Chains A and B, each alone.
Chain A
Amino acid sequence: MNNAATSWPKPEEVGEAMAKAVCRLPGTANRGGIEDVNVFDQVREELALLMGVSCPEQIALGCNSTWGLNQALFGFPLEAGDTVLTTKAEHNAVLRPLYRMAQEGVKVVYVRTDESGRILPERWEAALKEHRPRLCVLNHASNVTGAVNDAETLCALAHDHGAAFLLDLSQTLGYIPVKLETWGVDLAAFTGHKYLLGPQGTGGLYVRPGLVLRPHMVGGTGVKSDLKEMPEEMPLHLEAGTGNEPSYHGLLAALRWSREHPLDREAVDGVLQYLADGLAALGCRVIWPDAPRMPVLSFTVPGYTPEEAGDILTGSYDIICRTGLHCAPDIMEDIGMPSGTVRLSLSRFTTRKEAGEALAAVRDLTESVQL
């Protein structure tokens, strides 16, 4: 139950595709002819469908969301004195680049979340009015509480106030419908190994046509080697070095599998609701955001630190969970859990029976404290 970190299990086609990819001749690093299979382009086509974008070539592929976020944040044309607006719900993949940018003179403003980890449009708009940022960065959903933000509204507000909008889709892509072009999103980072059900080592960045980033990483592209700069056209502009071909074969298999097996989000939310109700009935403090939400539950167990509870759930019951700050330290104050939480994160494969086993284990914990 740690799918917000990395999904497991994956469709078996994912591993099969990766094993085949390792065993056969590698691809041709952007030099393939019309008959050659370019797995990266095929992944782009699938992702474009999923993201609601019409230009697959605007999706640069790298090794994870962090790669994409670094490309976006360090590549966006910001200068000392410019302001970036972001939120207390962000992951360290956003925060740590911003801390570095702040050292270089960029002003960073953080909008507080509500007690469920969600960004309220009125707070967002007030901060936009007050600080006039050039760039806004928003986590589509909190990896701590699962609260999904209204990206369309928050993006429109950013544009109304003259700011570009970077959306972190790490948690949501593959679970929450995304329409980047309709929403007008300028930049969106994503990962392949969470709700896309692909392997680790995949992820990237969508860049709106017309927006040009300065590549954060430069190097070989397999073509146009006579240029001293990265080629201007996307996606080559941001894709230096050899790509992770076997993992992208795995991601392609996952994307195709998901297209053929549509997610039943209502069913997953039903299991989540059952788990949340059960934990609350046991006296746990549960963060329960209004819908839309990811299948993520953050809670604390009375009488235990999050680490103690997590150690017992894992060691005594084989329930894999995550404890602590979840790489999003700033949200803890806003949700009133300064010492962190225990987080259970479900997938489309999590059954009600498994949720029941988790509840039984937590019941043992709570009853043990009362003894």
Chain B
Amino acid sequence: MKFRCKKTENCFAGAQTYEYELPITGQELTALLGGWDITENHRFRRPVFSARREGLEIKGILAARVVKVNYTRENWEEEKRGLEQWMEEITL
């Protein structure tokens, strides 16, 4: 799966937050995230999801193709490499 990635900043210098533009929706992504703790909230006008595993979090709008990933401060480079490799290996 091809994707575009951009670091997004917030108020904290150590934050490691990235946005990914995917060819699939958040809903379709959650179906691929086996072993992740996934929560969905359909009460909001545009329903959202959050997927967590070992401090790593992917979240976004279920119907949108952009998701936000919060990597941990301590291990973000390894986590980012791993997640991106996993995404690259997905065949749609």
Interface residues of A (CB under 8 A from B): 307, 311-312, 315-317, 323-327, 329, 340, 361, 364-365, 367-368, 371
Query: Are A311 and B45 in contact, with the CB atoms below 8 A?
Result: no
Contact count band on B? 10 to 19
Query: Are B11 and A316 in contact, with the CB atoms below 8 A?
Result: no
What does the 1/0 interface line of B46-82 toward A look like (CB < 8 Å)? 1110000000000111001000100000000000000
Query: Are A316 and B61 in contact, with the CB atoms below 8 A?
Result: yes
Chain B's interface: helix, strand, loop or mixed, by majority?
loop
Residues of chain A within 8 A (CB-CB) of B60 are 315
Q: Does B86 contact A (CB under 8 A)?
A: no
With known contacts A324-B11, A325-B11, A340-B11, A317–B68 Cβ distance under 8 A: no
In the bound complex, CA of A323 to CA of B68 (Å): 16
Most chain B CB within 10 A, of A312, A327, A365, is at A312
Which of B11, B43, B61 touches A315 (beta carbons < 8 Å)? B61
What does the 1/0 interface line of B33-49 toward A look like (CB < 8 Å)? 00000000101111110
Residues of chain B within 8 A (CB-CB) of A316 are 44-48, 61
Most chain A CB within 10 A, of B46, B60, B64, is at B46
Return B12 CB to nearest CB of chain A, in Å. Answer: 7
Q: Does B91 contact A (CB under 8 A)?
A: no
Query: Are A367 and B43 in contact, with the CB atoms below 8 A?
Result: yes
In the bound complex, CA of A343 to CA of B64 (Å): 25
18 A-B contacts (beta carbon < 8 Å): A311-B68, A312-B44, A315-B46, A315-B60, A316-B47, A317-B44, A317-B45, A323-B10, A324-B11, A324-B12, A325-B11, A325-B12, A326-B11, A340-B11, A364-B43, A364-B45, A368-B41, A371-B43
Query: Are B44 and A329 in contact, with the CB atoms below 8 A?
Result: no
In the bound complex, CA of A315 to CA of B65 (Å): 12
With known contacts A367-B43, A368-B41, A368-B43, A315–B10 Cβ distance under 8 A: no
Residues of chain A within 8 A (CB-CB) of B12 are 324-325
